[in-house]
Structure 1
Amino acid sequence: MKYYKFWVKESVKINVGQSAEFVSILSGSNTSIEDARLELAKQSRFVEQKINGESPADDYEVPIKEHVEQVIDEANIITVCRYGAKILNTCQYTVLDLDDYPIDFFDMFRAVRKLPKKERIVAKFLQRLTKHPELGTDFRIYETTKGVRVIGKKYIEPAGKGYATLMRSLRVDWLYIILSQKQQCYRARVTPKPYRMKIKTIKVTSPLDCETQTYQDWAKDYAVAAQRFSVVKLIQTVGADFSREPVIRLHDTLCNEGRSRTLA
């Protein structure tokens, strides 16, 4: 998982064939703003090479281009996403948001077909555990607005062999799979979506937007409204209870889990 605490965004000149064009480049550093500017020069050269059909050395791990709200530890951070909600990024736990479930032919003859959708998602996930012991044995299963969130204590490496096939067998969203592979971590939204709370939304186009007064004023109103909602509600635990682990406690606190509030 790669992230940066300092960002710069500048317009730089790129040579494209026999002409020159200006492009906007966002660059980050964990050292300082000045270091981020030095990295920007390297990135502009990289972009120039790509445009001109050259093959510069590429880093497969894509950085998380979001404002870092909190660094919990080396494996867990909280960032602000494009619509202002806070996101837990983790390479300590496996996080799966399931809005659907795998369908088997024989389900039509089983009791699972009569269950409400969210209960079916949980039931089908538990069935899959017997077929995929590599997922581990310890899980926390939560209800979300549209489906189910599963947090597994065992970390499944997104860059590992067979990862995409495993995730698709559980009906994990394809875009989420790709993002997990590129960023080499899992993401879990821990504060409500603004539109579900019926408050003014905001568009965060880069980490630098979170340094503006406009964003900071919005964030105060958003934080107040968010206290009236929950992101998840715990359904059940499977295996050993790891709820007291610091990151899980923070996840549950930020999500307002257990407060019997409307999911958003």
Structure 2
Amino acid sequence: MRPIPRHWATARETVTFPGGQEWAMTAHGASDLSPEDAQRDAREHLRRMVAAGGPDRGKDSDVEYYPLRRLPEELLDELHGPDGTLVAAITRNRYGSAVLNTEAVLISDVDLVEPSSQDRVKPGGGGVLSRLFGGGRGEELTEQQQDPDAFGLRSAGRRGDHHERTLALIEDFRARHPELGVRSYRTRNGFRLLVTGTGAGPSSERARDLMGQVRSDELYMILCRVHDTYRARLTPKPWRIEVDRFEDLGTRTAADEAHRAWVERYRQASERVAVCRLLEVSGPAPSTEEQQIIDLHDRATRPESGLRLA
């Protein structure tokens, strides 16, 4: 895989376009050479944006999180194969979680559909959580019922139905592809698949087809194509473990004391949770390189710890 840039820079400029429209524009640049080269790249990117008439304003806000150009992420670690080839990198995303980046193993996240607004409150019934777990009005949920794992696994109704349909979809995928190794995990709001033996690059049509068969999130597939790596969150989302959001620090410089203090708070809080839970393993054994990725993923996400998911 291509190395993750080690240096990032940002260029900002307020530009007035023909017709008098004024935009505050921001462009990111990256480099493996130096911060100065990253700054040059950022300025060049900004120049091209201005020459093209400005940023595309037609995208909705969701797509902006999955941009058409890689956004800055702190490089935390790299994993190399026996021959020295880079097979994975761990970065810190915009809200602070550690993320696995690799092209060696196909990774597909499948989220459960949230109940619609019509299901949230009905006359004579409790809130959505009470109904999902069979509770009535005035009943408090037990600690077990509040466990995110309970969604689908122990619930009736639409959420449980969707859980069962998704499991059936994954089982059908296994049956259709006996040549592939499939590790399925439960995440807080859905499932994660680690698929070995595909030989499919993250931006390939083969990868898009395979991920589409399990109804992987479309925006996630865009992200894989932009970064040219599959991605998997390895550590909890900060707000799920009562840690302030990383982007609120206003810095991504690891040398800053505020940055180091946040990382330590986040690390301590993360010890109490897991990111996913292993459900099933099937298919041929992974290659040595693929096994390296699986081991790295499982060490970080703790799928057999029994801890609550976050």
TM-score for the superposition, normalised by structure 1: 0.78
Task: Name structure 2 gaps, 5 residues minimum.
Answer: 56-66, 81-85, 114-157
Is 1:38 aligned to residue 40 of structure 2?
yes
Alignment correspondent of 1:248: 294
Alignment correspondent of 1:25: 27
Q: CA RMSD in A?
A: 3.3
The one-letter code matched in structure 2 to 1:212 is: D
- How many pairs align? 244
Alignment correspondent of 1:72: 79
1:27 & 1:197 partners in 2: Cα distance?
Answer: 32
- SS of 1:68's equivalent in the other structure is strand
Does the C-alpha gap of structure 1 residues 189 and 207 become closer, same or farther in structure 2, counting only changes over 3 Å? farther
Does the C-alpha gap of structure 1 residues 215 and 243 become closer, same or farther in structure 2, counting only changes over 3 Å? farther
Alignment correspondent of 1:121: 166
Q: CA deviation at 1:205?
A: 8.8
Does the C-alpha gap of structure 1 residues 161 and 10 become closer, same or farther in structure 2, counting only changes over 3 Å? closer
Contact 1:14 1:44 in 2 (8 A): no
Alignment correspondent of 2:93: 81
Q: Choose the corresponding residue for 1:94, options 94, 103, 106.
A: 106
The one-letter code matched in structure 2 to 1:27 is: G
Does the C-alpha gap of structure 1 residues 140 and 165 become closer, same or farther in structure 2, counting only changes over 3 Å? closer
1:164 & 1:205 partners in 2: Cα distance?
Answer: 36
2:24 & 2:45 partners in 1: Cα distance?
Answer: 14
2:250 & 2:72 partners in 1: Cα distance?
Answer: 7
User: Which deviates more from structure 2 when the two are superposed, residues 35-44 or residues 83-92?
Assistant: 35-44
Is 1:149 aligned to residue 150 of structure 2?
no
- How many percent identity over aligned positions? 24
Q: CA deviation at 1:215?
A: 2.3
Contact 1:158 1:180 in 2 (8 A): yes
Task: Name structure 1 gaps, 5 residues minimum.
Answer: 54-59, 102-112
2:107 & 2:161 partners in 1: Cα distance?
Answer: 23
Q: CA deviation at 1:209?
A: 4.9
Q: CA deviation at 1:65?
A: 2.6
Post-superposition Cα deviations, 1:185-231, rounded to whole Å, max 9, x if no partner, equal 21101001122222333326988355532222111011011011111
Does the C-alpha gap of structure 1 residues 171 and 261 become closer, same or farther in structure 2, counting only changes over 3 Å? same
Contact 2:241 2:269 in 1 (8 A): yes
The one-letter code matched in structure 1 to 2:190 is: G
2:282 & 2:31 partners in 1: Cα distance?
Answer: 40
2:23 & 2:110 partners in 1: Cα distance?
Answer: 44
Alignment correspondent of 2:126: none
- How do 1:121-140 and structure 2 match up within 5 A? 121-131=166-176, 133=177, 136-140=179-183
2:42 & 2:182 partners in 1: Cα distance?
Answer: 41
User: Which deviates more from structure 2 when the two are superposed, residues 199-208 or residues 184-193?
Assistant: 199-208
Q: CA deviation at 1:35?
A: 1.6
- SS of 1:261's equivalent in the other structure is coil
1:235 & 1:171 partners in 2: Cα distance?
Answer: 18
The one-letter code matched in structure 1 to 2:5 is: Y
TM-score for the superposition, normalised by structure 2: 0.67
Q: CA deviation at 1:238?
A: 0.6
2:110 & 2:54 partners in 1: Cα distance?
Answer: 41
Is 1:180 aligned to residue 220 of structure 2?
no
